[in-house]
A and B are shown apart, each in its own frame.
Chain A
Amino acid sequence: MIGQKATDIRLHSAPQRKSGVRRWLQRNRTGFLFILPALLFYLMFFVQPFFNTVYYSFTDWNGVNPTKQFVGFANYIRMFGDRLLWLSLRHNLIWIAVGTVAPIVLALPLALILSNIKRGRLFFQTGYFMPHILSGVVIAMIWGWIYNPLFGLLNYVLRAVGLDSLTRGWLGDPNTALYAIIVAAVWGYFGFCLVIFMAGLQNLDIDQIEASRIDGANAIQRFWYVIVPQMRYVLNMVIVYTLIGGFNVFDIVYVMTRGGPANHTELIGTHTYKMAFQENQIGYGATLAMLMMVLSLVTSLLYNILRNRGDAES
């Protein structure tokens, strides 16, 4: 768009308008120059692929042919009959449900306790957050070891306490594979929630909590009726991050199970990747990518609506 504006300027640089154009350019030049390098990168590596995804999703293409065949909405219609996609979506929903509730239930009480103590807050925060700085690949490998049927820690501990009947190949068993991966992901994520909650707790209105204490509210009532409403911003933020993260999971699942056993841990992210880059169905892969885009955008939008409504109320 900036480029187009530049040609406008050249077209209109007839003598009689020169001074006005020059003034316009002068007024805008500094700002343009500061954002131009960033904008060029962004146009090339985000905006262009963004619109090309839309375009590809209406084509049938194997990635090699010189021509992409236009197929209209065929790929979108195909999605409805794609049983693997529905299965993947179901797994994503399980991921989101467990992966949203578990880290919050773990991190919020922990943050409350942590904000109560006087010394060592930073120490504990640093420790809890540590798993979050690890790459998904590393998390997947650590937990792959824990879940290993022969050498794994989990089976070792179960055997040590006499629960041999529970031992299994956690990632190979269709009943446990997805949940086993979610546990690993929650481990990598709860410290992030905790740090965000700590930030929210630092902003609490202490007077309100004191007032409710004087009014005779017990700890649980204070938590539920005074602290949680004040933490609404922060809770919303964490939930949206988790939702978007839950739709887009890839690394940890792909490294741990590749979507197996027998698609029992298939998610939209792995399904899209496989369609596009292993099955070479670029058009349909792009359609699945569109679905992921829509899910993320809708979630973000919902967050903004919620936040604005919250602003209006307070």
Chain B
Amino acid sequence: MNHSMRSGSSEQQHGSVTTIHTSRARWRKAVSALLQYLLLLIVLLVALAPILLMWMSAFKTRQEISVNPLALPTAFTLSNLVQAWTVGRFGQYVGNSILVTIPVVLSVVLLSAMAGYGFARHQFWGRQFVFYAFLIGLMVPFQSIMIPLYFNIKNLGLLGTYWAMILPAVGLGLPFGIFLLQSFFRGLPHELGDSARVDGCNEFQVFWRVLLPLARPAVSSLVVFQFMWTWNAYLMPLLLLNQEALRPITLGLMFFQGRYTSDYALISAGVTIVTFPIIIIYVAMQRQFLRGLTAGALRG
């Protein structure tokens, strides 16, 4: 508008009127943008306050916490963290979580990439039916199958080993992984892999060398989500991994809280030990987190 007015009339007066007009509009725009940022920032602070306050308390003395739970730490004591780490056995719990999570994530990614590829790019008898059978797994809650699952694991003699959680977690992670990767592979051009076949690659090599590398965005989203679900799982280890030596971090944290019910210096230290690494990983991989979700939403 501004431009056309200026070019339409070269009169001095006209020009100055538009400048006033646009500068006011620009000013209003800047203020509204500022207000929007302010609002977003306030909501952000409120949203993150519980986490930040918990982290802060980990560095405060018990007395400081009881006098003013909102104040910044003055002494920056590390004794809560040290004490929580040593008496809380967090080292062991974190180790258990890693031992369970890594095999689960690797297996879910590999198996669902293979199956997703099979469903998307190969014809075979019963394909549709089996695919829908996997989709049902997306809709059925864990609680609906946990009772027989527990007895199966018990009868297989797996209770008391990490396998008790690793094996079922792989099986239950597959529906989402297959769904995600199937739709990714289906979106790739059909000619892909043909030249590799001409060069004498077998079907597995075509998958492994040509298509799987292309699926990196989908795979990294799956890695991030599967990691988060397995790491954060509570009910599944409560049933299947509830021995002192095997407990993952979520169970460990709960037992820790049970022992130190109202000692919020220790509890906040425990929560900090557990949450800090997760949040660092999340911030470093935010794009994978958000993209995975976004892709899901856009598919409808």
Contacts and interface: CB of A to CB of B under 8 A. Distances in A.
Interface centre among A5, A32, A118 (most CB of B within 10 A): A32
Interface in B228-269: 228, 231-235, 239, 250-251, 253-254, 257, 262, 264, 267-268
Given A130-B51, A133-B228, A296-B144, 5 more contacts: A1-B126, A42-B171, A151-B264, A196-B297, A293-B140
Contact of A234 (B171, B253, B271, B297): B297
Interface of B: 33, 36-37, 39-40, 43-44, 47-48, 50-51, 53-54, 65-66, 68-70, 111-112, 114-115, 117-119, 122-127, 129-130, 133-134, 136-152, 167-168, 170-172, 174-175, 178, 203, 207, 228, 231-235, 239, 250-251, 253-254, 257, 262, 264, 267-268, 271, 274-275, 278-279, 282-283, 286-287, 289-290, 293-294, 297-298, 300
A35 B114 contact: yes
24 contacts: A30-B122, A30-B124, A34-B207, A42-B171, A45-B167, A49-B145, A53-B147, A56-B148, A116-B36, A127-B44, A127-B47, A134-B275, A137-B254, A138-B253, A141-B257, A148-B264, A191-B47, A196-B294, A199-B293, A237-B300, A250-B143, A277-B150, A277-B239, A289-B147
Nearest to A200: B297
Nearest to B270: A141
A122 B290 contact: yes
A129 B271 contact: no
A138 B37 contact: no
Contact of A35 (B33, B118, B293): B118
Q: Summarize B's interface: helix, strand, loop or mixed.
A: helix
A150 B137 CA distance: 44
A41 B122 CA distance: 21
A27 B125 CA distance: 9
A116 B232 CA distance: 34
Nearest to B178: A38
Interface of A: 1-2, 5, 24, 27-28, 30-35, 37-39, 41-42, 44-50, 52-53, 55-56, 63, 110, 113-114, 116-118, 120, 122, 124-131, 133-138, 141-146, 148, 150-151, 153, 156-157, 187, 190-192, 195-196, 198-200, 202-203, 233-234, 237, 244, 247-248, 250-251, 254-255, 269, 272-273, 276-277, 282, 285-286, 289-290, 292-293, 296-297, 300, 307
